[in-house]
Structure 1
Amino acid sequence: MDKIKIAFVGTGYMANEYARVLTNEFKNQTQLVGAINRSSNSIKKFIKKYKVLKSYTKLKEMMESSNPDIVIVSVNELSTLKILKILSNYKCKCLIEKPVGINFEESKQILKLNNNNFTPLICLNRRYYSSILNVKKIISNDKTKRIIKIFDQENPLAAKKSGKPTKVVKNWMYANSIHMIDLVYLFGRGKIITVKKINKTNILKEGITSTIIYFDSGDVVFYNCIWNRPAPWCVQISTKKYFVELKPVEEISFLSKKKRNWNSFKKSNFDIKYKPGIYYLLSDVLKSKKNNLQDLRYSHKLMKLIKRIYFD
């Protein structure tokens, strides 16, 4: 059986996380055939560490020479559109680190790149945390209405001090809050009928954004984001049968109607050994047929919800 050929656009932190899992856990079914990055020092280390067949300086050359089955894109948010315009001309699966575009307007341009050959898949790795996978199992057969509370925390001022570009900082709700806002759709069932803003804040100051999101299924999501102050990332889900808490999101504890004592699940060994979610995400995408990763249409829908929460 032929190995699945994988190439990398970008060789920074996230690329290393994916490559580490691939070389340790999937080396018998994958081959790392190429990589490209603006930093020659970064790519030299990457090629050597993960035994990638070849480094490239031009993306088109890499695609035509290495002919990868999967391309992992983990680049600066400001470069995503340019990269995807090139990749959309090739037949391959494309794993794209979120956000797919710097803001809602750019996501509209990226959505137009969809075609029959190009298969873009969005790397929303929190969906693949072992804790999240266990929550889905616990509540999947409970058809009662859900009350969902999502507590987000973001610090774009710290990002600005660390050297992030101004345009990225100003769009931080797309760049990073997208992690937690994705859980609105993951746990809320049906279609959103109302987005009710309770409090709005300037994200470059201290404050809180509070929004209530109503689904036609009867599910309700309370989304709160603390800006530039300490707070945990936390999710709570209440149904008639269960109360589930993810605090932090990597860990799960829950109560059931039948048993009032707290139950918990430990992190999986893969979520301890590697960046949480990455192993399970790659396991899913390496399937020969259907996987559960989201596409550009979903990414655009998610960006639209972020826009409704923060800008409309």
Structure 2
Amino acid sequence: MKFRLSIVGAGVIAQEYLKVLQEIKNLKVVGIHSRTKKKAIDLKKKFNIKKVHSSIEEMYEAEKPHGVIITTSIEETKNVLKECIKFNWKILVEKPVGYNLEEFYKIKKLIKKKIQNVYVAMNRNHFESTLMLKDEIKNRKIKRIIFVQDQENNLFKKNEYHKKVIKNWMYANSIHLIDYFRMFGRGQIKNVKTTHTKISKNKKIVNAEINFSSGDLGIYKCFWNLNSPWAVSIIYEDQRFELKPLEIMNYYVRNSKIKTFKPKKNDLKFKPGFKLQIDKFLKKIQGSKNKLLPDIRDSEFTMKLINQIYKK
């Protein structure tokens, strides 16, 4: 099959996708559309895209692409999806699907009739380290602790993002970390207990305890406008698996490091997770019924959890 894909958006993430797409021999990027036409023209030249289009409708009608990748700014997601669902193609949309939970539900209602064609780009699901960790613990039936350490700076982003996005920065960026609870927590969430410790006017520590019906326990700690690394740990009584940084998995027994897994070819050559994510999207285009990519239901789980942790 010769795949035809299109891109909406012409920013940094669009470029990262195009780096992957240009390496796939049986694939052609046949169109790009962006509010910033100059950026789209630059990407057309750099990545040999067939044409820059003035609208999503024009882009679809010109080539009837099999799929489209949405990489626009978060506040534009709803409007772009509203246009994209008019056509018969598979859709891969960058997270988050909406700048907060209320916006997410508006989008979910909007795309209801085409929801089966929409997949959410959560690239950390496809990290080599994430997949290795899943494989290491898949047969462990005992209860586990999922510890997620987050760090966010929204003070430095005010000139880079829309004010709605800044106000809801936990959806825009903390989603990267909080989604690990969906990946590794088993069963349904029974309850979430949260405390906010204020350090100063703009600095705080958010702690959350997430109890799952399986008996798994999630612990979330986020340092807002304070210095701290991102990290994810799966903890058993005398063993620990740690992603720190998220691209590397370390295995400990009684605090002694036993094994380190580092990324290989694709997660070094491209933005981590992107190559496998695209491979899975192409399989969906081919009609695969397997659970390969996060969908709107998965996104809802994580968006609801973010809301539970941060609601006041």
Query: TM tier, shorter chain?
Result: over 0.9
Q: CA deviation at 1:295?
A: 1.2
Cα gap change, 1:117 to 1:138, in 2 (>3 Å)? closer
Report matched runs for 1:6-45 at 5 Å: 6-24=5-23, 26=24, 28-45=25-42
Q: CA deviation at 1:241?
A: 6.7
Q: Percent identity?
A: 37
Q: How far is the alpha carbon of 1:116 from its aligned partner?
A: 4.5
For 1:62, which of 45, 53, 59 is the aligned residue? 59
Residue 271 of structure 1: aligned partner: 267
Residues 164, 224 of structure 1: alpha-carbon distance in 2 compared, 3 angstrom cutoff: same
8 Å CA contact 1:157–1:204 kept in 2: the answer is no
2: CA distance, partners of 1:117 / 1:124? 17
Shift in alpha-carbon separation, 1:37–1:270, aligned structure 2, 3 A: same
Runs (4+) off by over 6 Å: none
- CA offset at residue 126 of structure 1? 0.6
Distance 1:58 1:234, change over 3 A: same
Instruction: Tell me how far 1:129 sits from its aligned partner.
Output: 0.9
**Distance in structure 2 (CA, Å) of the matches to 1:16 and 1:279:** 13
Q: Structure 2 length as normaliser, TM-score? A: 0.93
Aligned equivalents of 1:221, 1:70: Cα separation in 2? 36
1:71 lines up with 2:68 in the alignment: yes
CA contact (8 A) 2:247 2:262 kept: no
Q: Residues 23 and 50 of structure 1 are in contact (CA less than 8 Å); yes or no, is this contact kept in structure 2?
A: yes
57 and 103 in structure 1: CA distance in 2 versus 1, 3 angstrom threshold: same
Find out whether 1:89 has 2:106 as its counterpart. Answer: no
- Asked if 1:150 corresponds to 2:178, the answer is no
**Counterparts in 2 of 1:1-312, with a 5 A limit?**
2-24=1-23, 26=24, 28-112=25-109, 113-116=111-114, 119-160=117-158, 162-199=159-196, 205-240=202-237, 242-256=239-253, 261-287=257-283, 288=286, 289=288, 290-312=290-312
Tell me if structure 2 keeps the 8 A contact 1:234–1:247: yes
* 2:232 aligned counterpart, secondary structure: strand
Check the 8 A contact 1:198/1:212 in 2, yes or no: no
Contact kept in structure 2, 1:6 and 1:68, CA below 8 Å: yes
| Matches of 1:275 and 1:116, distance apart in 2 | 29
CA distance in 2, matches of 1:22, 1:256: 40
Q: How many residues are matched?
A: 307
Alpha carbons of 1:166 and 1:92: their partners in 2 closer, same or farther (altered >3 Å)?
same
Q: CA deviation at 1:301?
A: 2.4
Structure 1: which amino acid aligns with 2:261? F
Deviation at 1:118, TM superposition (A): 5.8
- In the alignment, structure 2 segments of 5+ residues that lack a partner are none
Q: Which secondary structure state, in structure 2, belongs to the residue aligned with residue 145 of structure 1?
A: coil
Q: Deviations over 1:216-260 (max 9, x none)?
A: 100001001111111100011112573101111111110258x96
Higher mean Cα deviation, 214-223 or 273-282? 273-282
Separation (CA, whole Å) in 1 of partners of 2:20 and 2:246: 21
Give the letter aligned to residue 52 of structure 1: I
Structure 1 position 163, deviation (Å): 2.8
Aligned residue for 1:308, secondary structure, equals: helix
SS at match of 2:112: coil
Contact kept in structure 2, 1:94 and 1:119, CA below 8 Å: yes
The normalised TM-score by structure 1 is 0.93
Q: Partner amino acid for 1:126?
A: R
Q: Secondary structure at 2:6's aligned position in 1?
A: strand
Q: Give the residue type in structure 2 aligned to 1:73.
A: I
Distance 1:133 1:57, change over 3 A: same
Distance in 1 between the 2:275 and 2:237 partners? 33
Give CA-to-partner distance per residue, 1:26-84, whole Å, 9 cap, x none: 1x221111000111221111111111111101111111222111100000111110011
SS at match of 1:262: strand
Supply the RMSD in Å over aligned alpha carbons: 1.9
SS in 1 for 2:35: coil
CA contact (8 A) 1:88 1:118 kept: no
Gap change, CA 1:181 and 1:202, over 3 Å in 2: farther
Q: Which runs of 5+ in 1 are unaligned?
A: none
